[in-house]
Structures are given as structure tokens and as C-alpha cells.
């Protein structure tokens, strides 16, 4: 198949390597990563059919973007939506994105080698989306939903280890499943398209899809699910774990109104513990099908990218240093890039 071929293109290197933030001399201790805080992304001028080059980009935390290379010449040939499905491995200084539509991992390594590889796993019984890297375990994981009833009931949510992200190899069976919950029949694809994943970097993986949130505890082997606001018309996007608070945060969005809140979510109860005012007038162009988020290196800033008019990208920078309840218009700045859709935002200081 066309998409099963690894496609590597010429790398356009900057004077500072795309993913490097450490000293070149191995005898020199590596600096604090926040001394060279970076944001990474992918971009395309055709997010709807994916028929133009897929490029990589780097910026400092002012979001002054510089193109760093062409990863897939001619593009993936599929839509680039539901695009908050990336992770950053700060141990290896590598960036990874999973495209649900083409079932491909996009990998950018610290030595500036790029590849895109099709996921290999149990593609008959499971569909996958949403990746994260846990630094304490040195492993990456992806979420799967059973679609056949074999070997698990239809709608089972599983956490799968990515055995080798550079070859796309995923374990054939999940290491954990969500107990007592299954995705409604016929909704498996939508569940995966809405997914957003976060981690505490140690042993917890958190997943949001629609108005439900889930947790996997890799130490105890236990899982939990909750609906933060039962019966409400909200959906949740842009899940991140904030080490400063020991809490999760996400966008709480409703098409009705519309309304957009940035909320804090307790990691134990999985319920909303604090909320911003309605920020819809400050973040008016948020598009749930075309967005991504990340935190700054010090985790005091929340970055949002979203497709705006046609194929332009709006970036929103939100000061969260005083907590979500204190977010006001003055805490939000925005900028726009025309002619390209930027997605898969990741900071080199967290994943």
C-alpha cells in the first residue's frame, strides 16, 4: 500500500537543530530545558485532503515560527483533522504525532531524521488514536477501542504500549482496559476522533473524549471513568496535566451559545474543580475538529492553535499562572498565520 512506505525527505536544518536543547559537549551538564524553551508543530496548506507537503516548524514561546523541514512531500493524502494527538519525548528529544485518518506515526528525532510509518498492531479488532510518552517508564502508549467484539467486548477502551514508535509497532493486546465502561455501539470512530490524552509523566494516563474522562494507573493497574458534568451539553478538548497544580486542565466547549471555558479537573475524582469565565469572545474561532494545545515549559501558559478562516491558523496564548478562575481578557493574546494550518503543538518541556 502507498501509505506503508516510509517517506523521508530532505531536511532543512536551522542553525540550531530542531529538537536539540542540550550542550554539545558531553562533559558539560545539560542545561535546564526551560533555558531553551521551544514549541514544535506540523503544518500543511491543505488540511482537508492532505495533498500538499507536510512540514515541521519550531518556535520559541513567543510563537515566532520558523519552518524546519518537509516531512512528507506531497502530504499524507488524507484529512488532517482531530489533530491534538501528538507527544514529545524529552528523554530522546523526539516529537511524535499520530494521524488517525491514515493510521500513521509521524516521527521527528533529535538527529533530525524524519519518518512516517503505518501503525502495525491488531488493526482488525481495534482502532487507535491519541499517543503519550511517560518519561518515568520510558514508554509510549496509544488508546484503542474495540470494534468487533473480539477478543474484548465491542466498545472496550484499551491502553496499548507502543513497542517501537519509529517502526509503528504497537502491542497486540492492551495492558489495561477501562473497567465498567464501553463506548456506545456505532460511536467508536467518533470517540477516537474526539480524543485528547495527557500524562503526569510518572504512571498515570488520562483520556478525554466528548464529555467523559478516564484514567489508567499503570502502577496499581486500576482504571476510572467519570462524566464531569452529567447531563450537560459540554464536550472537553485540549487535555493537559499541569505539574504546578497537580491537576488536569482542558477546554470545556459547547456549540450552544457558544460557550468556551478553561477548566481545572481533579485527578482523583475526575470532576471539574475550577473554571474560568466564559471566554468565547476572547477565543472566538475555536474549531473542535481542527485544534491542538500544549503548555509552556514552566506550565504557566496554555497555548491553543485552531484553524480559522479557510486554512489560516489562530494562536491563543493564555496566562494561567494565577489559576483558571482568574483568567480574564487581559490574560489572552492571539496571533494569526495565513495560508497554513499549524497543528500538533508540543513543548520541549513537557508531554
Residue whose cell numbers read 468487533: 148
User: If we measure between CA atoms, which residue out of 43, 202, 62, 46 comes closest to residue 108?
Assistant: 43
Q: Quick check: 50 and 74 in contact, CB under 8 A?
A: no
Give φ, ψ of 295 to 5 degrees.
-105, 155
The predicted structure's pLDDT at residue 110: 79
What residues does each domain of the chain span? Answer: 2-347
Q: Quick check: 273 and 247 in contact, CB under 8 A?
A: yes
User: If we measure between CA atoms, which residue out of 155, 148, 203, 149 comes closest to residue 179?
Assistant: 155
CATH class for the region spanning 2-347: mainly beta
The predicted structure's pLDDT at residue 351: 56
The predicted structure's pLDDT at residue 19: 56
pLDDT tens for each residue of 11-34: 333 333 455 444 344 344 444 668
Q: Quick check: 70 and 57 in contact, CB under 8 A?
A: no
Q: Quick check: 218 and 176 in contact, CB under 8 A?
A: yes
CA angle centred on 181, ends 150 and 122, rounded to 5°: 30
pTM: 0.91
Residues of the chain with pLDDT under 70: 1-33, 350-351
How many CB atoms neighbour CB 31 within 10 A? 11
The predicted structure's pLDDT at residue 22: 43
The predicted structure's pLDDT at residue 228: 84
How many Å apart are CA 174 and CA 171, to the nearest integer? 7
Amino acid at each position: 500500500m502507498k501509505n506503508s512506505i516510509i517517506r523521508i525527505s530532505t531536511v532543512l536544518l536551522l542553525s540550531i537543530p530542531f529538537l536539540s536543547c542540550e550542550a554539545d559537549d558531553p562533559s558539560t551538564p545539560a542545561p535546564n530545558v526551560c533555558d531553551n524553551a521551544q514549541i514544535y508543530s506540523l503544518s500543511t496548506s491543505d488540511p482537508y485532503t492532505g495533498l500538499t507537503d507536510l512540514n515541521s516548524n519550531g518556535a520559541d514561546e513567543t510563537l515566532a515560527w520558523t519552518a524546519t523541514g518537509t516531512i512528507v512531500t506531497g502530504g499524507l493524502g488524507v484529512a488532517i483533522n482531530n489533530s491534538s494527538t501528538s507527544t514529545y519525548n524529552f528523554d530522546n528529544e523526539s516529537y511524535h504525532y499520530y494521524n488517525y485518518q491514515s493510521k500513521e506515526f509521524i516521527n521527528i528525532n533529535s538527529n533530525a531524521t524524519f519518518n512516517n510509518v503505518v501503525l502495525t498492531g491488531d488493526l482488525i479488532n481495534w482502532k487507535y488514536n491519541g499517543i503519550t510518552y511517560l518519561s518515568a517508564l520510558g514508554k509510549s502508549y496509544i488508546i484503542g477501542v474495540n470494534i468487533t467484539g473480539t477478543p474484548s467486548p465491542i466498545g472496550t477502551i484499551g491502553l496499548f504500549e507502543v513497542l517501537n514508535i519509529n517502526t509503528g509497532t504497537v502491542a497486540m493486546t492492551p495492558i489495561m482496559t477501562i473497567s465498567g465502561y464501553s463506548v456506545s455501539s456505532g460511536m467508536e470512530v467518533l470517540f477516537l476522533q474526539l480524543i485528547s490524552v495527557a500524562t503526569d509523566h510518572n504512571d498515570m494516563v488520562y483520556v478525554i473524549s466528548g464529555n467523559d474522562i478516564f484514567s489508567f494507573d499503570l502502577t496499581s493497574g486500576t482504571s476510572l471513568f467519570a462524566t464531569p458534568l452529567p447531563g450537560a451539553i459540554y464536550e472537553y478538548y485540549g487535555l493537559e496535566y499541569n505539574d504546578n497544580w497537580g491537576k488536569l486542565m482542558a477546554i470545556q466547549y459547547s456549540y450552544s451559545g457558544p460557550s468556551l471555558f478553561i477548566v481545572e479537573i481533579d485527578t482523583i475524582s475526575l470532576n471539574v474543580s475550577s473554571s474560568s469565565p466564559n471566554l468565547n469572545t476572547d477565543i472566538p474561532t475555536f474549531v473542535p475538529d481542527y485544534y491542538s494545545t500544549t503548555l509552556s515549559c514552566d506550565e504557566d501558559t496554555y497555548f491553543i492553535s485552531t484553524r480559522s478562516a479557510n486554512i489560516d491558523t489562530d494562536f491563543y496564548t493564555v496566562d494561567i499562572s494565577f489559576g483558571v478562575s482568574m483568567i480574564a481578557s487581559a490574560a489572552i493574546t492571539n496571533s494569526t498565520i495565513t495560508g497554513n494550518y499549524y497543528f500538533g503543538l508540543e513543548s520541549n518541556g513537557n508531554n
